[in-house]
Amino acid sequence: MAKGIPFTDIVRDLPATVPFVGPEALERRTGRPFALRIGANESAFGVSPKALEAIRQAAEEISWYGDPENFELREALAAKHGVATDEICVAGGIDSLLGLVVTMTVSPGTSVVTSLGGYPTFNYHVAIAGGALKTVPYRENHEDLDGLLEAVRRHGAPLVFLANPDNPMGTWHDAAPVSAFIEALPETTLLILDEAYIEFAPDGTAPPIDTAETRVIRMRTFSKVYGMAGARIGYCIGNKELIQGLNKVRSHFEVNRIAQAGALASLGDPEFVDHVIRSVEAGRRALYGLAERLGLGTFPSATNFVAIDMGSRERALATLAALQERGIFTRMPGVAPQDRCIRVTVGTPEQIELFAETFETALAESS
Amino acid sequence: MAKGIPFTDIVRDLPATVPFVGPEALERRTGRPFALRIGANESAFGVSPKALEAIRQAAEEISWYGDPENFELREALAAKHGVATDEICVAGGIDSLLGLVVTMTVSPGTSVVTSLGGYPTFNYHVAIAGGALKTVPYRENHEDLDGLLEAVRRHGAPLVFLANPDNPMGTWHDAAPVSAFIEALPETTLLILDEAYIEFAPDGTAPPIDTAETRVIRMRTFSKVYGMAGARIGYCIGNKELIQGLNKVRSHFEVNRIAQAGALASLGDPEFVDHVIRSVEAGRRALYGLAERLGLGTFPSATNFVAIDMGSRERALATLAALQERGIFTRMPGVAPQDRCIRVTVGTPEQIELFAETFETALAESS
């Protein structure tokens, strides 16, 4: 470490970790492009044709900054969710929003509660802020609501994270226990409810949106069902005091003009969203069936991916490597006991067929 | 303020300011779109046709996250600047990079030096980190190198900001005094050298790039000469220890796929960049001439904008309002004594003609 650089104590002590290695980095290591990219829960069903047209048009105005207020999009989102425009904040994806909420609520030493093996990018932001992460193990492959609540109380944590549906297991809690969890939180604790995958979940998974409640901020994204991961745009819904706090710390010109246009157009194509949801449901069933034929367990998923139980971390790692060797990019949970699984993003029927053949071959050879 | 929300002390006390109001917000207030948008130093000359083609192609893959390592772009930038790939960090524009460097170096109470009336978004990030901003007045319409150095020493500041060429005045320092400034910095002080406009500056404005030097980090953008403001992409060049620090705090998936593709293609079209630079030079001369005909002063500019001296803040404000009333969006510096100027982005010849007519009319009516 060059001795002169005036790093803060926190940054000096941070490890040089990255939350996720991209498939491009793996391709550079092996020198071969992947034939199938089903590891990052990117949508296999693309974007709405309306969004693509809006994106093409916006490209003509790429020399202009996007609207720093994201006004038209917030108006459309407010109408969709039945809230006010000042109860919505748009940013460059949920990853960015997580960083903003952490900046807003976490000082060095602040206790923050999340699940052990939950979304790593959240943990990454907490570490940058100098927060003290308190983790709660999964219970029966679900994030443990009772355990999270108990940890919040024990540590007096002002911030707790819950993904519902969950990533990386794909499991979920119904609205009623999530609402009860929020109700039970101390008045001075904020829940980040990450609902990146909520559109894929059964009706009755999302609690009703109540912006009078200051103890929860809901996060949504255009990266999953809307198929715009590469555009970087997401939003949150919450009490307007929370949103005002975010407005004090967000980068106002962060969201690019193309993402704004594509997101707005996406909202005008609910038929496309329905098509994606139905396609993902069919794909999940195909993956459940495949695993069953191969004698492997799965977990019912409310997301666009399925976690397949390989029985042990060693076998999961070997399977991941065998798939990668055969040109298929998947990922696996990083932390025990979830790390006995591989996480497979739902592809198109053709992609699932290719995965099935390759997976079966890989298993046969390794057994 | 809802009493339960667990804001940090810093955020609770932050004012609800925004660094810049967007032209869209002004349009919503008046109910009329601007006929001419020459207030945000966006390029009037668009993007390279090669970049536009790359952007259109990237739109087809918008469902995929961008490469979190920005590898191909960093390779191309490294070749362009004669540095190593690990001496470059790509992010969602200089605004984002400023936030990252502040996160990396500023703790609550840390002194940070900048010019009084310098780039507001830098100040915004310092406030979020709880830093103590120490400002140095401009001297003869230039950022005051001696004054900045003196302030760094007096306050023991680990971080100092300098834009060269300057924004909002458009003035610049030659490479030699900037190099001398860096040499004179304490070993534990880092200079952010914001070179957003460097391509428009005379040869000999940018100091040689020396990544052995840990006291400076250079910031560049695709928003100005490359015409990609709406895509959100910029980069910095520095010692690899600095870049490693940024890698510990950056949002790895921040940069969108379209921006990555457009930026890479832009680097392959130097003829287009030359065309923009020559067009901007011609446009600056036209604006100097216009101001002279109208009996107004200007400052030689090394950027894609010209500051026109209206003599007083009152007259600058009135002119801005009169232009806005007539459908022209411009901006003005926010702080005295620079706030006697209006800042006009160089447009195409047709746009400059429209501005000239409108400006002349507005002045005649207000005098």
- ipTM score for this prediction: 0.97
Q: What is the Cα–Cα distance from A156 to A186, expressed in whole angstroms?
A: 9
* B245–A5 CB contact, under 8 Å: yes
pLDDT for res A359: 98
Last residue of a domain, one of A216, A241, A268: A268
Give me the residue from B64, B106, B128 closest to A8, CB to CB: B106
Supply the Cα-derived Rg of chain B in whole angstroms: 21
Asked whether residue B184 is domain-assigned, the answer is yes
On whether the CB atoms of residues A62 and B228 are closer than 8 A, the answer is yes
Mean pLDDT of B310-335: 96
Chain B residues 89-148 with CB within 8 Å of chain A: 92-93, 95-96, 99, 103-107, 110, 121, 128
Q: What is the Cα–Cα distance from B292 to B123, expressed in whole angstroms?
A: 34
Distance to chain B for A290, nearest Cα, Å: 25
**A245 and A107 housed in the same domain:** yes
SS3 sequence of A191-227 = EEEECCCHHHCCCCCCCCCCCCCCCEEEEEECCCCCC
Residue type at B144 in one-letter notation = D
pLDDT for res B363: 92
**A95 and A214 housed in the same domain:** yes
Structure token digits, residue A80: 């969709």
Task: Let me know if B114 is exposed, middle or buried by CB neighbors in 10 A (0-12, 13-18, 19+).
Answer: buried
On whether the CB atoms of residues B219 and B196 are closer than 8 A, the answer is yes
On whether the CB atoms of residues B346 and B352 are closer than 8 A, the answer is yes
**B66 and B208 housed in the same domain:** yes
Q: Which residue of B lies nearest to A5 if distances are taken between CA atoms?
A: B188
Asked whether residue B4 is domain-assigned, the answer is no
Asked whether residue A300 is domain-assigned, the answer is yes
pLDDT for res B1: 45
Mean pLDDT taken over chain B:
96
CATH of the domain at B30: 3.90.1150.10
Q: Are strands B305-309 and A328-329 parallel, antiparallel or unpaired?
A: unpaired
pLDDT tens digits along B23-41: 999 999 999 999 999 999 9
Task: Let me know if B108 is exposed, middle or buried by CB neighbors in 10 A (0-12, 13-18, 19+).
Answer: middle
Q: Does B61 touch chain A (CB under 8 A)?
A: yes
Instruction: Please list every residue in chain A whose beta carbon sits closer than 8 Å to the beta carbon of residue B62.
Output: 47, 52, 55, 227-231, 262
Question: Where are any strands of DSSP class E within B1-145?
Answer: 36-37, 88-91, 111-115, 132-136
Q: Does B47 touch chain A (CB under 8 A)?
A: yes
**B259 and B336 housed in the same domain:** no
Structural domain boundaries, residue A292: 20-46+271-366
**A241 and A348 housed in the same domain:** no
Last residue of a domain, one of A252, A268, A284: A268
CATH of the domain at A138: 3.40.640.10
Instruction: Please list every residue in chain B whose beta carbon sits closer than 8 Å to the beta carbon of residue A99.
Output: 251
In 3-state terms chain A splits into helix, strand, coil percentages (rounded to 5) of 45, 15, 40
* A22–B68 CB contact, under 8 Å: yes
∠B184-B190-B193 over CA atoms, to 5°?
A: 90
On whether the CB atoms of residues A47 and A266 are closer than 8 A, the answer is yes
pLDDT tens digits along B96-149: 999 999 999 999 999 999 999 999 999 999 999 999 999 999 999 999 999 999
Structure token digits, residue B217: 């980090």
Asked whether residue A15 is domain-assigned, the answer is no
**A126 and A62 housed in the same domain:** yes
Residue type at B87 in one-letter notation = E
**A101 and A247 housed in the same domain:** yes
On whether the CB atoms of residues A96 and B251 are closer than 8 A, the answer is yes
**B243 and B289 housed in the same domain:** no
Instruction: Read off the pTM.
Output: 0.97
pLDDT for res B367: 66
Q: What is the Cα–Cα distance from A182 to A190, expressed in whole angstroms?
A: 9
Q: How far apart are the first and last CA of chain A?
A: 46
The count of domains in chain B is 2
* Residue B273 predicted with pLDDT over 80: yes
* A16–B248 CB contact, under 8 Å: yes
Q: What is the Cα–Cα distance from A357 to A347, expressed in whole angstroms?
A: 14
Sheet holding B297-298, edge to edge: B297-298, B305-309, B341-345
Instruction: Please list every residue in chain B whose beta carbon sits closer than 8 Å to the beta carbon of residue A257.
Output: 230-231
Percent of chain B with pLDDT over 70: 99
Structure token digits, residue A74: 């917030």
Q: Does A71 touch chain B (CB under 8 A)?
A: yes
**B188 and B324 housed in the same domain:** no
Asked whether residue A337 is domain-assigned, the answer is yes
Phi, psi of B133 (to 5 degrees): -75, 130
Last residue of a domain, one of A227, A246, A268: A268
Asked whether residue B171 is domain-assigned, the answer is yes
Q: Which residue of B lies nearest to A45 if distances are taken between CA atoms?
A: B63
Q: What is the Cα–Cα distance from B67 to A279, expressed in whole angstroms?
A: 27
| DSSP tag of A139 | B
* A11–B104 CB contact, under 8 Å: yes
Asked whether residue A263 is domain-assigned, the answer is yes
Going residue by residue through chain A, which has 367 residues, state the pLDDT in tens, using 9 for 90 and above. 456 899 999 999 999 888 889 999 999 999 999 999 999 999 999 999 999 999 999 999 999 999 999 999 999 999 999 999 999 999 999 999 999 999 999 999 999 999 999 999 999 999 999 999 999 999 999 999 999 999 999 999 999 999 999 999 999 999 999 999 999 999 999 999 999 999 999 999 999 999 999 999 999 999 999 999 999 999 999 999 999 999 999 999 999 999 999 999 999 999 999 999 999 999 999 999 999 999 999 999 999 999 999 999 999 999 999 999 999 999 999 999 999 999 999 999 999 999 999 999 999 887 6
Instruction: Please list every residue in chain B whose beta carbon sits closer than 8 Å to the beta carbon of residue A75.
Output: none
Task: Give the containing element (helix H, strand E) for B159.
Answer: strand B159-163
Q: What is the Cα–Cα distance from A112 to A160, expressed in whole angstroms?
A: 6
* B62–A25 CB contact, under 8 Å: no
Instruction: Please list every residue in chain A whose beta carbon sits closer than 8 Å to the beta carbon of residue B212.
Output: none
Distance to chain A for B67, nearest Cα, Å: 6
Q: How many residues does chain A have?
A: 367
Q: Does A250 touch chain B (CB under 8 A)?
A: no
Asked whether residue A33 is domain-assigned, the answer is yes
**A78 and A130 housed in the same domain:** yes
* B71–A241 CB contact, under 8 Å: no
Instruction: Please list every residue in chain A whose beta carbon sits closer than 8 Å to the beta carbon of residue B18.
Output: 68, 247, 252
Q: What is the Cα–Cα distance from B237 to A190, expressed in whole angstroms?
A: 38
Tell me which residue of B41, B111, B30, B10 sits closest to B343, measured CA to CA: B41
Task: Let me know if A186 is exposed, middle or buried by CB neighbors in 10 A (0-12, 13-18, 19+).
Answer: middle
**B89 and B161 housed in the same domain:** yes
Give me the residue from A65, A228, A251 closest to B230, CB to CB: A65
**B80 and B42 housed in the same domain:** no
